[in-house]
Chain A
Amino acid sequence: MSVEVITPGLCTTVQDTGRFGFQQYGVSVSGVMDKQAVQIANMIVGNQQTDAVLELTMRGPSLLFHKDMLIAICGGDFKVTINDRSVLPNRAIWIRSGSILKFGLAQEGCRAYLAVAGGWDVPLLMGSRSTNLRGSFGGFAGRMLAAGDKLVQSSPGAFSQFLANQLEKKAGAAPFYQANWFIPSNTFVKNGEAVVRVILGEQFADFSEESRQSFFEQTFQVSTQSDRMGYRLTGPALELTKSMELISAAVTIGTIQVPPNGQPIILMADRQTIGGYPKIGYVPTIDLPIVAQLRPGEKIHFQEISLRDAQKALIERDSLMKAIKLGIEVTVGWR
């Protein structure tokens, strides 16, 4: 046993980058909502990108550590403390056995991530450690964490151990020590309104001119009926020029579909594999972390992006991430 759940928070689940290869059988991809925050969190503690983390939503858990560990917290700002002393996100933290790591309410953003060196050790199921809440499988017993659950850490790699030893020495007798370097991972908005880019969808041209205009010119509000499956938006009703019966086909994360009531839905991590509503657009992978951190009541302003620019931006971010990884290794004296 390495970590015990004292209070579980609102919706705390074990997730990794997702379950691929099983959509043909109707199995949702699942996985973390904010991939960028998780990529950085895993990088900071020396993990692989695919290692499992905890995803926290709006209100985080309290966790009792029964083992010394190297951790990182990225994404939303949840007012985190260790033994009631506040700690900072986006950096490596060494935490001593017997300490209590406590997350509060989200101050900014909607989701935070807790990565531990080595990743959380839950069974690999159909190639993934992600929790599928609707199907009640994967992750930790196929469900959200509950009080009393005991989580286990996988063995950390050589780099993680090197960094952990370094921080442990600096900690002296203190219950924890935070590295003096950090990597920003925040994609949450400051003024309650996010600009989210959109690749035009297959049926974009089938919407009325007025709807196409208001889609980009007006703002949409994230409704309270938004979750890991999808973000339901409220705003100007989007109307087709003529009603259409579409043949159901695969849908992907970021798909903005418009049901007959004209209010768009952005499909997220726990989306179904197949859908049949008109697709007005797709949020590009690069902007999904922004959506993942929006909370009910916050607003979205859509802006068009070409497929070319969306893919270029993704490639550039990948190069940046590789440079950051190298930078971390140099900073801590591993290279």
Chain B
Amino acid sequence: MPRYEFSPLGDSGVMVKLGEVIDQQTHEKVIQFYEYLQEHPFPGMIESVPGFTTVTVYYDPITLFDPLDDILPYDRAVAILEQMSQQISNTHSKEYRLVEIPVCYGGSFGPDLEVVAKQNGLSIEEVISIHSTTEYLVYMIGFAPGFPYLGGMDERLATPRRSSPRLSIPKGSVGIGGLQTGIYSIESPGGWQIIGRTPLSLFQAGESSPSLLCAGDKVRFRPISEREYDNGEKVY
């Protein structure tokens, strides 16, 4: 039975904490609770957002107020969430969705590939091979629309961020920042070492599920050639 800790996030949110450290076990609890909420939204619930160790639930205090009993909307929200937490069986762990992301490494798409190789005493081929044989876990989506926080990068690829960030990094760029790897979902400034680019769109406004990835997915990168990248851009 997982322990749930509730605390207010402003006057219209409850933060539900499901663990103290970023690990697979806490992540599974987060996903389980988040998915339960998706399937069983309560009246007055606005939305829920999964984090590394938390699920944040936004609610409308007006809807959750009943003048007849005068219970504080926050207390009512917590009571509902507490009851829900008892409904969740943590017996079976869910099947993961594995998403393959084609990446054209190096060249103009990955200007920092050599930096990452040199920093770690590896050849370029070794960097690509290590980066593309690992299975990564999507902990959460945030920072920018569709941007995945990925866990599981091989420590042999760890590279410090650039000392001066680039003003504009094209969308689809795959980068390494410290112990993390990620994909820029929209064009933005950033300080990560850029090692390649995917022709896939990680975010498309207007779709019913606008983000290619969801918290709880697994990701694997597949090296592709520049020609495949060009074809890919037309396909995806």
Q: Does A314 lie within 8 Å of B62, measured CB to CB?
A: yes
Q: Does B146 lie within 8 Å of A282, measured CB to CB?
A: no
Please name all residues of chain B whose beta carbon is closer than 8 Å to the beta carbon of A248 when the two chains form the complex.
Answer: 51-52, 140, 142, 149
For B205, the closest partner residue in chain A by CB is A137
Q: Does A25 lie within 8 Å of B211, measured CB to CB?
A: yes
Q: Does A315 lie within 8 Å of B51, measured CB to CB?
A: no
Number of A-B contacts (CB under 8 A): 139
CA distance A145 to B146 in the complex (A): 26
Q: Does B47 lie within 8 Å of A310, measured CB to CB?
A: no
- Which stretch from B10-18, B127-135, B150-158, B227-235 is at the chain A interface? B10-18
Please name all residues of chain B whose beta carbon is closer than 8 Å to the beta carbon of A307 when the two chains form the complex.
Answer: 8, 11, 72, 74
B193 lies within 8 A of chain A by Cβ: no
A38 to chain B, nearest CB (A): 16
A224 lies within 8 A of chain B by Cβ: no
Name the contact of B46 in the complex, choosing from A20, A137, A142, A247 (C-beta under 8 A). A20
B53 lies within 8 A of chain A by Cβ: yes
CA distance A125 to B203 in the complex (A): 14
A308 lies within 8 A of chain B by Cβ: yes
| Interface bits A133-145 vs B (CB < 8 Å: 1, else 0) | 0110110001000
Please name all residues of chain B whose beta carbon is closer than 8 Å to the beta carbon of A274 when the two chains form the complex.
Answer: 49, 51, 140, 142-143
For B10, the closest partner residue in chain A by CB is A282
CA distance A274 to B7 in the complex (A): 17
Within 8 A of A (CB), among B161-192: 185-186, 188
CA distance A135 to B143 in the complex (A): 12
Please name all residues of chain B whose beta carbon is closer than 8 Å to the beta carbon of A22 when the two chains form the complex.
Answer: 47, 210
CA distance A40 to B143 in the complex (A): 33
Please name all residues of chain B whose beta carbon is closer than 8 Å to the beta carbon of A332 when the two chains form the complex.
Answer: none
Given contacts A135-B186, A247-B22, contact A24 B50 (CB under 8 A): yes
| Interface bits A111-138 vs B (CB < 8 Å: 1, else 0) | 0000000000000011000001011011
Chain A contacts to B: CB under 8 angstroms: 20-28, 125-126, 132, 134-135, 137-138, 142, 199, 202, 247-255, 272-274, 282-286, 307-308, 310-311, 314-315, 318
Chain B contacts to A: CB under 8 angstroms: 7-13, 15, 21-22, 34, 46-54, 56, 58, 61-62, 65, 72-74, 140-147, 149, 185-186, 188, 203, 205-206, 209-211, 214-215
Q: What are 8 contact pairs spanning A and B, CB under 8 A?
A: A25-B146, A134-B186, A247-B53, A251-B9, A252-B58, A274-B140, A284-B10, A285-B61
Which 7 pairs show the lowest CB-CB distances between chains A and B? A274-B142, A250-B56, A137-B205, A25-B211, A282-B10, A249-B51, A250-B49
